[in-house]
Chains A and B, each alone.
With several copies, the nearest count.
Chain A
Amino acid sequence: MAALPPTTDRHQQIRLIEALLFASPEPLDEAALGSRLPEGTDVAGLMAELQGLYANRGINLVRTGGRWWFCTARDLAELMRVEEEVSKKLSRAAIETLAMIAYHQPVTRAEIESIRGVATSKGTLDLLMEAGWIRPGRRRETPGRPLTWVTTDHFLDHFGLDSLRDLPGVEELRAAGLLDSRPMFGSLPEAGEAGGE
């Protein structure tokens, strides 16, 4: 049956957004959604309404990294949980390194090592990058122009964070001065070459 042009009607607009997000293999931002609707459509308003419709459902509409997607409700986690294969378990070193990059970004490898007090074993950054959680950022404009590392949008998606401001406890840590990645004193021992390998 030929439907009314759905873009003229608010209910149809919401249905279209619903279908687009449902069919899309990756999260979509409001600009991408807006491009399918008449110019001037209040996309943000439509999203808020749609999010409300799904608030109590088994599927929720969420926004991470500024992009929208459907995912299963958090509170069903226990029932949905899939046991990870052993090989997928992250080492403590990898988790710590990921936290350093997430909270201190952009951060250089040397800074990570000075905070952890141990050399980063080969393969840790490789692993995190392969998981799609980190990527190289801009070079630091300091001697040696070291590469910095930052987290990706996929990192936000994976951990269900709207933005980096939503990292657990990030404001408290910042207020306590604990997100200062500079070495405190030149005299503190640096991570040695021999460590951690």
Chain B
Amino acid sequence: MTIPESFEEDRRDAMPADESDAAQLVLDIDGFEGPIDMLLALAREQKVDLTHISILQLADQFLTFVAEARRVRLELAADYLVMAAWLAYLKSRLLLPDPDPEEPSGEDLAAALTFQLQRLEAMQEAGTRLMARPQLGREVFARGNPEGVDLIRKSSFDLTLYDLLKAYGDFKRRQQASTFHIAPTDLYSIEDAVKRLSDMLGRMPDWVTLSSFLPRNWSDGTITGRSALAAHFLATLELAKSGQLEVRQEGAFGPIYLRRASPAS
């Protein structure tokens, strides 16, 4: 890595110290900007041009790292787990004959990964080169005390787009803060939903949609309305689990029907 760790902004919690190599690697995760950045660092260790790296070896190294991290119970960001799953898939595609001509071949996938690594490397180098240029106010200076000549016909108000957006953002935030001040007390609890469903089910022996159980004025798509829906859905699962209720759904996103569990079934 050409850039010292002190540049990092996305530090994760420090890991407990351990003598093993794995812990050493684990400690190093602080130095990476996500899984592709880590893969790039591993690839550089192969000390060949990125187009000639061994993708298999790279995948193995990464998978070993993830396995070790799990062994020492390090909580990895989801990005790393997704990448590990993808690399395992890539590995299988590289090692096994292609089962399905419709899907991209292992070589195609490896090429895509190589490109991704090259592209990130290019941008990391570009960033370094950019920052190495003489910068205004650091190595190069404009006139220290310009008298000012108003030449360009422009508004005399000193307002940038940033100021404008910031003002709107601040306003929105204040508005949200006041909205949310009372919102939490309106959320529907699962306990309430279980109680409500249990009370009503006794009177409804036949299939009824879940939504018809929702309290009036709570099915309007607001946060509180959605909290009622979520609470009632969880309550449904809870009651089904304890055998008090049967649930039926025709297909994904279809309406959910419930009825009192008949003692016979």
Contact = CB atoms under 8 A, between A and B. Distances in A.
A117 B116 contact: yes
B47 interface: no
A80 B150 CA distance: 9
Contact of B171 (A36, A99, A160, A190): A99
A188 B126 contact: no
Nearest to A20: B149
B220 to A, nearest CB: 9
Interface stretch (A6-14, A24-32, A40-48, A138-146): A24-32
A10 B92 CA distance: 70
A115 B79 contact: no
A71 to B, nearest CB: 5
A23 B120 CA distance: 37
Interface in B117-159: 118-120, 122-131, 133-152, 154-159
Contacts of A168: 126, 129-130, 133, 165
B77 A158 contact: no
A4 interface: no
User: What band does the interface of chain B fall in when counting residues whose beta carbon is under 8 Å from A?
Assistant: 35 or more
Nearest to A81: B139
Given A26-B145, A84-B150, A173 B122 contact: yes
A158 B135 contact: yes
A20 B127 contact: no
Contacts of A192: 77-79, 82, 222
B123 A96 contact: yes
A82 B78 contact: no
A72 B146 CA distance: 10
Most buried by A among B161, B179, B183: B161
B170 to A, nearest CB: 8
A102 B126 contact: yes
Contact of A80 (B78, B125, B139): B139
B33 interface: yes
A87 B157 contact: yes
Contacts of A35: 151
A192 B176 CA distance: 12
Interface centre among B118, B172, B177 (most CB of A within 10 A): B172
A191 B226 CA distance: 10
Nearest to A129: B162
A25 B146 contact: yes
Contacts of A72: 140-141, 147
Contact of A98 (B6, B109, B164): B164
B160 interface: yes
B157 A90 contact: yes
Given A91-B7, A159-B130, A178 B119 contact: yes
Contacts of B152: 28, 32
Nearest to A93: B9
B264 interface: no
B173 interface: yes
B100 interface: no
Contacts of B63: none
B164 A95 contact: yes
B34 A196 contact: yes
A191 B144 contact: no
B69 interface: no
A173 B139 CA distance: 27
B86 interface: yes
Contacts of B108: 185
A74 interface: yes
B35 A99 contact: no
Given A160-B140, A191-B79, A194-B79, A92 B9 contact: yes
Contacts of B25: none
A95 B169 CA distance: 12
Interface of B: 3, 6-10, 33-37, 77-79, 82-83, 85-86, 104, 108-109, 112-113, 115-116, 118-120, 122-131, 133-152, 154-173, 176-177, 179-180, 183, 221-224
14 contacts: A23-B141, A25-B145, A87-B156, A89-B157, A91-B7, A91-B9, A93-B9, A96-B33, A99-B123, A99-B165, A118-B10, A118-B33, A167-B130, A193-B78
